[in-house]
Structure 1
Amino acid sequence: MEPNLITLSNYKAVLGEGPVYDKDLNKLFWVDIEGKRILVNDLNTGTEVFYEMPDLVSSLCVIDDKRVIATIRHGFYIVNLERGEIKKVAEVETDVESNRFNDGKCDKLGRYWAGTMNMNERKPTGSFYKFNGNKVTKMLEGLTVSNGLGWDPDNKQMFLIDSPVRKVFVFDFDLNKGEIYNRRVAVDFGNEPGNPDGMAVDEEGNIWVAHWGGGKVSRWNPKTGKKLLEIKVPATYVTSVTFGTPELNQLFITTAGKSQDSLAGKTFTTRANVRGLPNFRFKIS
C-alpha cells in the first residue's frame, strides 16, 4: 500500500535540497539551491519563512535557535537568521569555477562533512571535505557529484553517493578520529530510474535514497544491496529525504521544480514504518 504523501508547504523550490530536522526546535530546515534561499518550517505552528542568501546555498546544519552553518558556493558560512548576518568561516576550491559545494551533514560530534560537484556533471573534479570549526580537511577526491551522506546507527560506517556514477559507497568510519577508510559499493543503482541523490538512514541501518529523475524514494539494505520498498513522489526530480518529528517516524522529501509536474519543487511528508536517525548540530570549537 502506498503511504499517504502530503504537501508540507506552499513554497515551490527551483532546486529544493538538504532537509534537516532539528528536534530541539521542532523545525524543518531546507535549501533552495538555485533560488538561493534557506527555508524553515515550524512544525508546531506550520509557519514557514525563507531567508535570502548571497549565492547558491546547498546544505546546512543547525548551530542553535538563531544560527545555522551553510555551504554557499565555495565556502562554509555562519548565518544568523535572526539578524540576517552572514559570515564566511572557511572556503575551498576558489580556483575551480566549474565546481560548487553540494550536499553536507554534521556527524554526531558536530563536524560538518560536505562535498563538491562538477556543475556540468561530467568530470570527476569534486572532492569531499570535513570542517571541524577550525580547519577544513580534504577526505576524498575524484568525485563527479558528491551527494547524499549519512552514518549507520553505531557510527561505524559512513555512506556517500556519487550521483552520475549511480552508486552508494560505504566506508569504515572512526567517529573519534573523524576518518574514513576502505571504500566499497553498498548499493548499485543498476537499472533503477534516475540517479541517487540525497539520503537518510533509519534506526535499523537501512538507507533511504531520493531518485533524481526517478520520481521516488527507495529504501535499501546496504549489507545486501537489496531494495526493500519504494515511495512514489508526484515530482520527477526527487532530491533528498530526512526523518523528522519528535518520534523521528515522519519522512520529509524535497524536490526540484524542473519538470512539468504540478507539484514539482514542493516538499512532501509521510509517515514512515520505521524511526530514523537524528540530524546533528554543528559544534563550534
Structure 2
Amino acid sequence: MTAEPELIWDLGAELGEGPVWDAARSCLWFVDIKGRRLHRYTPATGEKASWDAPDQIGFALPAEDGSLMCGVRGGLHRFDPATGGFTLILPVEEDRPQNRLNDGFVAPDGSLWFGSMDDSEEQKTGALYRWFEGELVRHDDGYGVTNGPCLSPDGKTLYHHDTLAKTVLAFDHEAGVLSNRRVFAVTDDGYCDGPTMRADGVLHVGLFNGWGVGLYSPEGERIGKIQTPVQTVTKAAFGGADLQDLYMTTAWLGNADKRAEQPTLGGLYRVRVETPGLVQNLIRLP
C-alpha cells in the first residue's frame, strides 16, 4: 500500500455495500442496502448521484447492454441509468419471504453469481445462486449471511463466505459447476464481509468490525491488512484506469452508538495500492 485511506464520500450509509468499477463510464457503483439506495461516484469530476431502489438492494452489477443487474429483495431487477428506472426480471426465493439478496459477482463467462440471507440474520436460510442465459440454479444452501462470491484469477477456485460463522469457503470451479466445498480461512478480527480478488491471486476480504481489509494468499494464509479509520468495512473493489485504486464501502449498521467517535462510519473510502485488481466482467444477458 502506498497511501492512507481517504474519505471521498461522507454519505453515512447504514449498510454501504457492493462497490464495483464500471470501466465504460469510469465510475464506481455501490449500494446502501438498508437505505434502499443505489449510488454512483465519478472520480474525474467528483460527481455523486443516487437513486431510490424498490426495496433493499444488495448489489448492482454492469451488464453488456449498459444496464445494471440489481439484486433487490424479492428478485433480480434491471436498472437503466438513463431513466433511473428499475424493472423486475426474475423473482427469486418466493418460497423464502424472510430472505433478501445480499452480494453478487460476475464471472468471465458473463454469468451472475449471488447469495441470499435471512434479513433478520437469525436463520440459516441463505443460498448461493448462478444466473446464466436466463436460467437460475441454486448451488449451495444453509448460510447465515452470504457474501461474495469471487473467483481466483485462473477461474478454478470460487470463494464464498458464511459471514456469521466468520468463515471463508472455497470450492473447485469448472464451467459453472462447484465441487469440493472446504474451509479456506476463518477471520478472528471481525466478520468476513465482501471479497474481491487481486490480479496476483491475493483475496481481499472486508472485515466488518475488524477495522480494515484482510489479505489472504491462495493458500489461505493471512498475509496483510489494509487498516481503515472506521471499524466496519463491508467490501472493497479495484478501480481506476489501472485498477490500482481500491474503493471500500463501510456501514454504521449495528454500531449506531459508535457514530459520535467514528462520524464517518458509512462513508466511501479509497486507497492507492501497488498491485492491481482484475477487470470487471459484464453480465451476459439472455
Indicate conservation of the 8 Å contact 1:41/1:47, yes or no. yes
% identity of equivalent residues = 28
Aligned counterparts of 1:41 and 1:113: Cα–Cα separation in 2: 24
Cα deviation, residue 222, structure 1: 3.2
> Which secondary structure state, in structure 1, belongs to the residue aligned with residue 229 of structure 2?
coil
Q: TM-score, normalised by structure 1?
A: 0.94
The residue aligned with 2:268 is: 267
Aligned counterparts of 2:267 and 2:206: Cα–Cα separation in 1: 14
Q: Deviations over 1:148-171 (max 9, x none)?
A: 221111111111111011111111
Q: Deviations over 1:117-139 (max 9, x none)?
A: 12222321111111114111111
For residue 179 of structure 1, what is the amino acid of its counterpart? V
Indicate conservation of the 8 Å contact 1:32/1:38, yes or no. yes
> Which secondary structure state, in structure 1, belongs to the residue aligned with residue 9 of structure 2?
coil
For residue 57 of structure 2, what is the amino acid of its counterpart? V
For residue 45 of structure 1, what is the amino acid of its counterpart? T
Aligned counterparts of 2:67 and 2:50: Cα–Cα separation in 1: 14
Q: Please list every run of 5 or more consecutive structure 1 residues that lacks an aligned counterpart in the other structure.
A: none
Q: Is the aligned partner of 1:201 residue 2:193?
A: no
The residue aligned with 1:88 is: 88
Aligned counterparts of 1:244 and 1:62: Cα–Cα separation in 2: 14
For residue 275 of structure 1, what is the amino acid of its counterpart? P
The residue aligned with 1:188 is: 186
Residues 20/91 of structure 1: CA separation in 2 closer, same or farther (3 Å cut): same
The residue aligned with 2:235 is: 240
> Which secondary structure state, in structure 1, belongs to the residue aligned with residue 181 of structure 2?
strand
Cα deviation, residue 66, structure 1: 4.7
What are the within-5 Å matches in structure 2 for residues 106-125 of structure 1? 106-125=106-125
Alignment equivalent of 1:227, drawn from 222, 225, 250? 222
Aligned counterparts of 1:66 and 1:234: Cα–Cα separation in 2: 35
What are the within-5 Å matches in structure 2 for residues 38-77 of structure 1? 38-63=38-63, 66-77=66-77
Aligned counterparts of 1:85 and 1:58: Cα–Cα separation in 2: 17
Aligned counterparts of 2:161 and 2:145: Cα–Cα separation in 1: 8
> Which secondary structure state, in structure 1, belongs to the residue aligned with residue 210 of structure 2?
coil
Alignment equivalent of 1:254, drawn from 245, 249, 253? 249
Q: Deviations over 1:95-154 (max 9, x none)?
A: 322211110111111111011012222321111111114111111111111112211111
Aligned counterparts of 1:278 and 1:13: Cα–Cα separation in 2: 26
For residue 87 of structure 1, what is the amino acid of its counterpart? T
Q: TM-score, normalised by structure 2?
A: 0.93
For residue 279 of structure 1, what is the amino acid of its counterpart? Q
C-alpha RMSD of the superposition: 1.5
Indicate conservation of the 8 Å contact 2:76/2:89, yes or no. yes
Q: Deviations over 1:207-248 (max 9, x none)?
A: 01111111211101131x221111221222211111111111
Indicate conservation of the 8 Å contact 1:60/1:105, yes or no. no
Indicate conservation of the 8 Å contact 2:64/2:285, yes or no. no
Q: Deviations over 1:51-97 (max 9, x none)?
A: 11110000121125752110000200011121122211112212322
Indicate conservation of the 8 Å contact 2:2/2:273, yes or no. no
Q: Please list every run of 5 or more consecutive structure 2 residues that lacks an aligned counterpart in the other structure.
A: none
